[in-house]
Amino acid sequence: MDRLLSVQQVAELLGTTVRFPRRLIEERRITFVKVGRHVRIPESVLVEFVAAHTVEPMVARRSTLRRAA
């Protein structure tokens, strides 16, 4: 079973305020678990969310560099 993270913990890991993970939950953009009145996000879901929204850098091709010059 995954470790369940609080909204505060998720915000700290993402380097954001608690408002951002709360908005993700409200808009149903991230999977979450309700434990009574508490909301928790599985750690694996957070890892998947970050991986899915990671943008890889573009590698310039040599032909592109010649056109710009």
Q: What is the pLDDT of residues 19-67, one digit of tens each?
A: 999 999 999 999 999 999 999 999 999 999 999 999 999 887 776 556 6
Q: Report the C-alpha gap between 61 and 38 in whole angstroms.
A: 50
Please state whether the predicted TM-score (pTM) of the whole model is above 0.85.
no
Determine the pLDDT at residue 68: 59
Q: Report the C-alpha gap between 63 and 45 in whole angstroms.
A: 40
Q: What length is written for the chain?
A: 69
Fold annotation for 4-68: Arc Repressor Mutant, subunit A (1.10.10)
